[in-house]
Every structure is written in C-alpha cells, then in structure tokens.
C-alpha cells in the first residue's frame, strides 16, 4: 500500500492507497516542531483503528510546502514504515509535465501535484482553484503542462488580518450570509469575505480564460471549496481529494516498469 503525505501550511493530510482506492485518510495540524516519533505514535494508533499495520505500507510519497517539516516526515517513513519516500520537487522525481515558468523551482509542490491530479481526472485546459491558507489559481494546458497562475490570501487569513488590524472588528467564522448587504458588523464582514471571494473567483476565472484565449474547465479543491462553490457557477467540479490523486499519479509515473 502507498502512504501519501500532503503537508500544507495549515494541515497535513495522510492517506493510504490500496491501488487507486483511498482506504484511510487522516488530517493533522501542521507544526514544524512535531517530531517523527510524535507522527509515528499518532499515525500508528489511527491506522490500527482501520485495521492497518505499518507492515502494510510498502511505498510512500511526500509533497510539502513547509521545509521545516520535511525532515521529520521523511524520518517517519523510514523509521516507522521502512520505506524511502519519493519527495515531490527533488531531482530525479519526474512529474511527467513541463513547468512553463520563469523560475520553475519556486512553484509550490502542492500546486504542481494539483496540476497533475486535475489533468489526469479532467483533461485540459483547466484552472485549479485551491482554497487553503492561500487561495491559488493554477493553469494547466490541454497537454497537462503547468502554465502558471495567481496567489491570493485565503478567506481565513483575510478574516484574521481584519480582526488583527482593525480594533473594532471581531473574529468571525467564514460562512455564506443570506444577503450581500450586511445589517451589522458581523454580517457585513461575512458578506465581504464570502461574496468578495466569490467575485474574486468569477473575475479571475474569466480573466485567465480571456488571457489564455479559450474556455477552461474549473476544478476546486481545499477545505472551503465546497462552501464557496455553492455561491457561483464558475466552478465546474469540486474534488476534495485532488492533491492525493496527484500524489498517487506522480508515484505511479516514477515507479511504473
């Protein structure tokens, strides 16, 4: 079985694949100071609840945008599962796509993995909108090559900035308000974040398609994707496991004989 690890700025997702099927999936808050032993004890207990043992894991792959966490995640795979993981973004790991950027080495591993997963599942050309700590827009051509994209602050990050920088603005949760015009401070903040981000999605999708010169399918992923997808027709598909699918495909491309 394959252990796929997606380490993001906010959460780290661990998934076990049996072939193309996800048989178990767990999510942990990302902490750079979490050791391999802490990961090992936590993950081992969760695996046992699913009837899995460390011996079931025969391969592993990691994509991380948190360099400080990578050492302990690699150590976890080696010490607790006895496997040497593939690391997305390191020399020798072939993504199977061209990265058509001025500085390909600067592109986050998660964005490239999403591009691979989206193209395998939905073809191209397409735009991947990932609602994470940042909201990213990634553009993939019909051959699966990564063309670039855009990065904006995520909804939760924007709300945190409002609360921190404005003395009279409270901390509120992201949610879909019943109307655009807020009648109180909290409802006005929720409207600004929710409908503001819906407008961001619609505007960016339209502008990217215009610049590309052709219609593009839009795939959404990330924790808040389903919530914002309810407010717009600009999103064609919601795929919560897109990154994991990309990791599995990259592993297949690097281990197929």
Q: Would you say 248 and 20 are in contact if contact means Cβ atoms under 8 Å apart?
A: yes
Choosing from 33, 37, 72, 110, which is the catalytic residue?
110
Residue 130 known to bind ligand: yes
Local structure of 134: helix, strand or coil: strand
The residues, any chain, with a CB within 8 Å of residue 223's CB and separated by 6 or more, are 11, 131, 132
**Lookup result for tokens 């004989």:** 257
Residue 239 known to bind ligand: no
Catalytic residue list contains 110? yes
Spatial separation of the C-alpha atoms in residues 119 and 208, rounded to whole Å: 17
Residue 243 known to bind ligand: no
Residue 203 known to bind ligand: no
Residue 111 known to bind ligand: yes
**Lookup result for tokens 């309810």:** 230
Residue 11 known to bind ligand: yes
Residue 6 known to bind ligand: yes
Spatial separation of the C-alpha atoms in residues 249 and 206, rounded to whole Å: 29
* Three-state helix/strand/coil letters over 161-204: HHHHHCCCCCCCCCCCCCCCCCCCHHHHHHHHHHHHHHHHHHHH
Token output for 178: 């019943």
Residue 129 known to bind ligand: no
Residue 229 known to bind ligand: no
Residue 60 known to bind ligand: no
Token output for 142: 């019909």
Angle, vertex CA 163, rays to CA 162 and CA 166, nearest 5 = 70
Residue 254 known to bind ligand: no
Q: Would you say 1 and 56 are in contact if contact means Cβ atoms under 8 Å apart?
A: yes
Residue 145 known to bind ligand: no
If you count them, how many residues does the chain have?
257
Residue 198 known to bind ligand: no
Which amino acids are annotated as binding site for K(+), given as ranges? Answer: 130
Which amino acids are annotated as binding site for ATP, given as ranges? Answer: 6-13, 133
Which amino acids are annotated as binding site for substrate, given as ranges? Answer: 108-111, 185
Catalytic annotation, residues: 110
Which amino acids are annotated as binding site, given as ranges? Answer: 6-13, 108-111, 130, 133, 185
């Amino acid at each position: 079985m394959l252990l796929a690890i997606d380490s993001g700025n906010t959460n780290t997702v661990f998934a076990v694949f049996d072939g193309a099927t996800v048989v178990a999936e767990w999510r942990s808050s990302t902490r750079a100071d979490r050791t391999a032993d802490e990961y090992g004890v936590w993950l081992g207990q969760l695996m046992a609840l699913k009837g899995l043992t460390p011996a079931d894991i025969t391969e592993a792959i990691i994509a991380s945008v948190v360099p400080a966490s990578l050492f302990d995640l690699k150590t976890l795979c080696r010490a607790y599962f006895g496997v040497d993981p593939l690391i997305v973004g390191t020399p020798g790991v072939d993504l199977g796509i061209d990265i058509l950027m001025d500085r390909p080495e600067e592109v986050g591993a998660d964005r490239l993995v999403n591009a691979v997963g989206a193209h395998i599942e939905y073809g191209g050309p397409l735009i991947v909108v990932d609602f994470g700590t940042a909201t990213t827009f990634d553009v993939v051509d019909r051959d699966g090559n990564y063309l670039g994209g855009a990065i904006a602050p995520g909804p939760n990050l924007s709300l945190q900035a409002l609360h921190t920088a404005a003395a009279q603005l409270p901390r509120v949760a992201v949610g879909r308000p019943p109307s655009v015009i807020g009648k109180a401070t909290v409802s006005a903040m929720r409207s600004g974040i929710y409908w503001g981000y819906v407008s961001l999605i619609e505007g960016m999708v339209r502008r990217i398609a215009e610049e590309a010169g052709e219609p593009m399918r839009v795939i959404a992923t990330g924790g808040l994707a389903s919530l914002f997808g309810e407010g717009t027709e600009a999103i064609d598909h919601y795929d919560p496991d897109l990154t994991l699918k990309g990791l599995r495909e990259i592993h297949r491309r690097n281990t197929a004989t």
